[in-house]
Every structure is written in C-alpha cells, then in structure tokens.
Structure 1
Amino acid sequence: MLQALRIRDFRLLWFARSVSLLGSWLLVVAIPAHVLHLTGSLAATGLTLAAEFLPPVLLGPIAGVLVDRWDRRRVMVLADVLRAVAIGLLLVVRDPGDVWLVYAALVAESVGTVCFRPAAQAHTPVVVGTGPALSGANSLNAVTDGVVRLVGGPAGGALLGVAGFHVLVWADVATYLLSAVAVLATARRTAGPRRRGGVRAVFVELGEGLVFLRGERTASALFVVNGVFLCANASLTALLVPFGVRQLGGTGGTGLVLSALGVGFLLGAPLVRVLVDRLPPGHLLGASLAGTAVGFVLLFGSASLGAALPSAVLVGAFGSLSLVVAQTLVQRVTPNPVLGRVGAVLFTGEAVATFVGALAGPVVAEATSVAAAALVACGATVFAAVLAVVLVPRSPMRVERPEPEAPSVR
C-alpha cells in the first residue's frame, strides 16, 4: 500500500479524499440529530438521507460525461468549493422553518460528491498507472475508509455535545477547502482532445460510455454483481440499528457494532493488496461476497454483543475486499477516456440499488421479521457471489505497468 504514497500527486489526492471524507463523517450523526432537535419529527429526519440519494440517481451518468469532457483536476476543485458553500448554508438553520435549507444543502453537497468521486477514481490510474501501485492505492483508500468509519461518526457525536453543531459545520467546510487546495497542488496533466457540443453531444458521449459498459464483459458483470450485493447490504444496514437496540443492548451496543465494521474495513484492505494481483478475479470476488454473506448470517443471528462484534468485523473485512476488488477491476478494464462515464454509471447503479435495499429491508421485516429479512438479504448476497464466479473472467487479469502520465510542462 505504501508504494502509491511514493508518488507525490497521489499523496495529495489521497489527502484531499481523506480529509473531506472525515469532515463528512463528523456530520453523519450531527445533521440528523440537529433536524430532530429542531422539528421533533422522524419523517423530517429521515428526509436528510433521501436528500443525499437524489443527485446520484438523477445526475450520476451526466456527471460522468462532464468528468470525461473536462479537466478532472479542475472538476475536483470546483466540486470541493461547491460542497464547502453548500455545507456553509447549515450555519443559518436555526428554527424549524429553516429546515428546508438542510435538504437544499445536502442535495448541493451530494451533487459535488457525484462529480468528485468519478473524477478522483478516473484520475488515480493516470497518476499511479494500472500496475501494482493501483491496487495499493485502492487498498490505502480502503484503510482510510475504515479509519474514518471507526472514528468519524463517534467523534462527531461526541463533539456535537461538547462544541455544538456550528463548530462541526465549520470543520466540514474547512476540510472541503483543504481538499481543494491539495488537489490544486497536484501537477497539471496533458489534456486530451477537447470535446465540443451542446446537450445533444453530452447524451451522445453518455451513449458511448453505456455502449462500452454493455460490451465489456467484466464491467457489465460488475454492474450486475455490485447492484445485487449493495441492495442486500443496504437492506441490512437499514435494519442494523433496530436490531442492535432490541438485541444487543441499545444504542451503545449498536455503536460498538458500527466500530467493529470499521475494524473489519481496516483488516480487509491489506488482503486486497496481497490477493488482487495473484488470484483469479472472479473467484476472489465470489469468495469475498460469500464471506460477507456468512458474516451477515452470524451477525443477525447473534444473541449477544460478544457474538455480534466478531461477526461485524467479518462483514467489514469481506465487504471491503469485495468493493475494492470490483473498483480495481473496473479501473483496469476501462480505457481512461471513458472511465469517468463508466464509473458514474456504476455509481448511479449503486445508488439506485442502495435506495431500493434501504426501502425493501424494513418493508420485509415489518411483514415478516428481522430474521427473515436478514435471510433474504444473505441469500441475495450468495446469489451475487455465484454471479461473480460465473460472469467475471476466471483467469488472472493481465496487469499492465505503464509509467504514470507525465505532468504537462505547459
């Protein structure tokens, strides 16, 4: 994982991604808690999550076209500035009549994230190449995600009580601005051919990305596999808090389970670096999804916190392995000129699958039971594992080792 950090531009890109992610996680608990405090409404609080789902579903593919049309470094900087301004709107939310500004701010922030995420993913292979440094870079990002999950939410909840909501908002604004500065410090890259045209040209280019996705076996298989898995994962995520409150000793026990998931992410990242370049990708992805399903069964079958915690670590480890393997495969099989569009379409599919799963899990649980809903989700995860073995190429992927693209001298 440290190989990628030897590359200056990746260090800056990694810092930008990490610091902005930490700022966002500081508000994961604080924003819903603030809305609940102002309104006392569970429905109003739940809309904070829905507001973040809307832009990826509606704008994801179009954002991918723009990422491939424009300079990705500039896209990331503008996205960070947009996110900083959007989150700054939360500073004027002081009574129930202002809550609409929360939703507007979250939608605008999510628009920025929809642009930043595919731009960063498409720019990473340009900076580090597509050889072992790429899997190391993705593994390092997975480690970062694990650390942020482990400390960000609990830290934000603790700071909310000590420092107050506005201090956390200012902290998040500062992280987005730091991210923009870090991206600006990276070297300018040689620009590709400049694309011109209006709305029609945008949709033509989007069609090019969809044609590639449909024709490229690995990428199209991952679209299906990830969709099934993330739908199942979201359904169980929606049930985790009520399950923890009823079965694991309340909110305190549930918080420990979330931390255990973060520990699992930390453990899964080194496995990616060791295994992704050595094993057949379809078998590796299928095995990691099967391991995630086993973890789900053990977690939602736990009768005590002591049994739930190692199960959550297992889910985090195999779940992170599944996601990072899929991301690395997409980056390697997709030509960089269309990687932004393909990545954005995949992100949109993930958002739709997550949204459907988050709605379906509670509905199934209400109609039957949490245990039955968990079994359905575990079955879907096993199905995703089978699809990965059948659809994703079984032979080890040829790893190219081009030098990272040279910075522009102009």
Structure 2
Amino acid sequence: MAARAVGFRDVLGVTEFRALFSAQLVSVTGDQLARVALSILVYDRTNSPGWAALAYALTFLPDLVGGPLLSGLADRHPPRAVMVVADVLRAAAVAVMAVPGLPLAPVAALLVGVQLLNPVWNAARAALLPQVLPGDTFVPGMGLLMMLVQAGQVAGFALGGLLVAAIGTGGALLADAVSFAASALFLVTGVHARAPRESSGVRWWRHVRAGWTVVTGDRRRLALVALGCVSGIYIAGEAIAAPYAAELGGGAVVVGLLLAAYALGNVLGMAALSRIPPERRARLLGPLAVLACAALLGCSLRPNLEGTLALLTLSGVASSYNLIANTTFVQLTPDTQRAQAFGFALTALRVSQGLGVVLAGLAAERAAPHGVVAGAGAIGVAAAIGAAALWRRAQPDSR
C-alpha cells in the first residue's frame, strides 16, 4: 500500500510548528500595518511619490548588510534565542517610531535598525524549520507557513488603511510593536531551545565566506536566487501604491486594497500549488515567474480600481512560484550553512526589491503610476524569461 502523502493537517499537529507559525503570522501582520502607515505618513508630509517610495524601500535595503553579515548568527547560536532577541529589539524600536511628532530622519534611522534584524529572524526560522519538521513534513510545512504568512499580509495591508484612517499612523506603528512582542512570547512558550548546528568558535568572517560559497558554488541555487529577484520588478505596484491610489481617486483605504490584492493572489496561488504533484510544480517555475510580470502589462490600459485590483491579484497568484523556489533552495543547502546561505539569498531578494521600489518611485515622479507599473511588467517579462533559462540549464539532465 502506498504511503499517505503528508498534508497540512499533519504539520499543524506539531506543537512547535504551530508556535513558530503563530510567531511569524502576528509579526508579519503587524509589519504590513507599519508599511502602510509609513507610506501614508511620508506621502502626506512630502506629497512626493519619490519620497514615499524611498521610505518603502528602506524596509528592504538594510538586508544588504543584515542578510550576509548577520544571518549566520542562527548557525552559530541557538536559533530560538536569536529570534527572540531580534523580536524584542524590533518591538522597542517600533514603539519609539510611534512617538507623535518624531521627525522623519529618526523614523528612517529606526526603520533601518528594525530591518537589519529582519533577515536575522528569517534566517533563524529557515535554520529551525527543518528541525521542527524533518523529512516529508518540511515541504508542506513550508508551504503552509508561506501561504498563511501571505494571509497575514492581506490582513495587514487591508486593515492598514482602515486603521490609519481610524487611529493614525502612530497607532498602526504601536500595533506593529505589539506584534513583535507577541511573536517573542509564542517562541519562548512554544518552541524548544536547540543547540546551534555549527560551533560558535568558528570565525565570523570564515562562516560568512563559507555561506557565500554555498550559494555561488551551485548553479541551481544561483538560478533559484535569480528567479526570486524577479520580484524586485513586479513589486512596482506596491512601491507606488499611495500615488496610484490617488490616480484612481482614492485615499488610505484604496492604498490598503492595492497592497492587499497582490498578497491575496499569492495566498490563492500557493493554495493551488499545494494540490499539484511535486514533479509538475518544478516545471511551473519559469512560466509562473513570467506571468507574474506579464499581468502588470494590463495596467497600460488604465483600468479602474476593480480592474487594477484584478491585475495585481493575478500577478500575486503567479508569484506563488516563490514557494517552489524557497523550499527547493532550503533543501539543496547543507544544514551547517543553511541560515548563512539563506541570508545571502534573502539579501539578493530584498536588495532587488528595494532597488525596484526606488526606481518605480523615481519613475512615478515623471510618469503616471499606471504607466510605471505597466513598464515594470514589460521589463520583468524579459528578466523572468532569462532567469527561467538559467534554471533549465542548471538541471543535471540538461548537461
């Protein structure tokens, strides 16, 4: 008799996984509230799409430092402890950001500090998850985690506009601080302490270099990173959500809806992918990456709010290919270098997204938002085709 496939119910039966998932869910939901609040805060104060996009980009660019230099902490120290400390520090920083009347410069500095810790937390989670869910439980667990985290983004983005309208940007930032504190509580009470996979006596720089070698030494891992970086192009719709909402005649609520559309589509896409056999999922990597960008071409027709939301949702559905790329990358990476290698991959992803956000904001200073998003879609199609070709050539049977 064939063994029963491991499903979502099986991984949800693991107590530690439920705690780990709950920690990330509340953190992500609060983080999206903060992103909406900051985008609106900067746009209201400056009336500049470029400055609003720059503030949004600050949530990505610090990964250039935090990803490669700090992610390895979870390989050399207990991963749960690394996550808890990062949560506590982020909660404190965001609480200060919520102080009324705080100038934009200190807000930006605190935001950079918060974001420096994000890749550390995510890399620690990547190192911990295969230990919490070994063997066949890992892939469905990762899929459920990514899918429901996107659901948290939907809730955070959709409620963000409403909350900012109701309680202001300071209240939304305080909600983010509370979410980090709740995340730390879930981890302390629900996840077991584990020893690091590599001795803390290993020199820091040697460990960083080893993680870089793990990523660059395998064409498959490099191709997966390239596919992930395509998201830095189709993120344009999120980058200029505030001016795009203004073009559509809406305010804070419409900003939240635009941001939520992509995340909602991503949830739907990952739910659909979970029903497709693994051997077929791998073949969908390239086509879905292309579709994630091609969907944005419809914005060139200047659709109304409903049409724009539909296009962004479709892009989100196709972007679920990142579930395949993410799980494959983790499985291809050695245990002792998983957090560090994941940090490098996350750095490439976040930097591409940060640059995409900045470029979209600068373009929106001179062109209509709908045209900027459509142009990003066209560039993204070409980039996705190239990354998909790299992935095909990296397969062992292609040599």
TM (normalized to structure 1)? 0.83
Tell me the distance in 1 between the aligned counterparts of 2:58 and 2:317: 29
Provide the C-alpha distance between the structure 2 equivalents of 1:58 and 1:192, rounded to a whole number of angstroms.
23
- 1:335-392 residue CA offsets vs partner (Å, 9 max, x unmatched): 1211111111111111221122223334456667666644543333333443344332
Match of 2:157 among 134, 147, 153: 153
1:313 correspondence with 2:313: yes
Residue pair 1:285, 1:385 contacting (<8 A) in 2 also = no
- What stretches of structure 1 of length at least 5 have no aligned partner? 398-410
1:84 maps onto 2:91 in alignment: yes
Shift of 1:3: 2.7
1:32, distance to aligned residue in structure 2 (A): 4.2
TM-score normalized with structure 2 length: 0.85
Match of 2:69 in 1: 62
Task: Give the Cα separation in 2 of the matches to 1:164 and 1:366.
Answer: 26
Q: SS of 1:28's equivalent?
A: helix
Measured after TM superposition, the shift of residue 60 of structure 1 is 1.4
Supply the AA of the counterpart residue of 1:94: P
- Residue 390 of structure 1 is matched in structure 2 by 389
Check if 1:19 corresponds to 2:21.
no
Does the Cα contact within 8 Å between 1:226 and 1:384 map onto a contact in 2?
A: no
Aligned with 1:94 (options 94, 100, 103): 100
Query: 1:134 corresponds to which residue?
Result: 138
Q: Structure 2 CA distance, aligned partners of 1:165 and 1:304?
A: 27
Change (3 A) 1:362 1:106: closer
For 1:317, what is the secondary structure of its paired residue? helix
Alignment of 1:1-400 (within 5 A): 1-34=8-41, 42=48, 48-91=55-98, 93-95=99-101, 98-131=103-136, 133-185=137-189, 186-197=191-202, 201-227=203-229, 229-246=230-247, 248-251=248-251, 255-275=256-276, 277-279=278-280, 281=282, 283-319=283-319, 321-364=320-363, 373-374=372-373, 376-392=375-391
Contact 2:159 2:256 in 1 (8 A): no
Aligned residue pairs, count: 386
Verify the 8 A CA contact 1:285 1:388 in the aligned structure 2.
Answer: no
Offset, 1:18: 0.5
CA distance in 2, matches of 1:277, 1:373: 36
**CA RMSD of the aligned region, Å?**
2.9
User: How far off is 1:309 after superposition?
Assistant: 3.0
Deviates more, 1:251-260 or 1:63-72: 251-260
- Give deviations 1:70-93, integer Å, cap 9, x for gaps: 1111110110011111112124x3
Counterpart contact for 1:279–1:396, Cα < 8 Å: no
Report deviation, 1:253: 5.0
Q: Assess if the C-alpha contact under 8 Å between 1:277 and 1:396 holds in 2.
A: no
CA, structure 1 residues 284+394, in 2 after alignment: closer, same or farther (shift >3 Å)?
Answer: farther
Conservation of the 8 A alpha-carbon contact between 1:286 and 1:384: no
Deviations 1:92-118, CA, capped at 9 Å, x for gaps: x3335x443322321221122121011
Residue type at the aligned position of 2:156: G
CA distance in 2, matches of 1:49, 1:368: 19
Cα distance in 1 for partners of 2:255, 2:96 equals 31
Is contact 1:79–1:116 with CA below 8 Å preserved after alignment? yes
| Structure 1 counterpart of 2:201, one-letter code | R
In 2: Cα distance, 1:234 partner to 1:260 partner: 12
For 1:268 and 1:238, the matched residues in 2 are separated by 21
Contact 1:230–1:354 (CA under 8 A) maintained in structure 2: yes
Cα 1:262–1:193 change in 2 (3 A) is: closer
Separation in 2, partners of 1:294, 1:379? 7
Post-superposition shift, 1:122? 2.0
Please give the secondary structure, in 2, of the residue aligned with 1:274.
coil
Give 1:144 deviation, angstroms.
Answer: 2.1
Give 1:13 shift: 0.3
Superposed CA deviations along residues 23-74 of structure 1, whole A, max 9, x for unmatched, are 222222223444566x556477555334433421122101122222111111
CA distance in 2, matches of 1:295, 1:46: 22
Distance 1:383 1:3, change over 3 A: farther
Instruction: Specify the SS of the correspondent of 2:338.
Output: helix
Distance 2:77 2:332 in 1: 22
Gaps of at least 5 residues in structure 2 are: 1-7
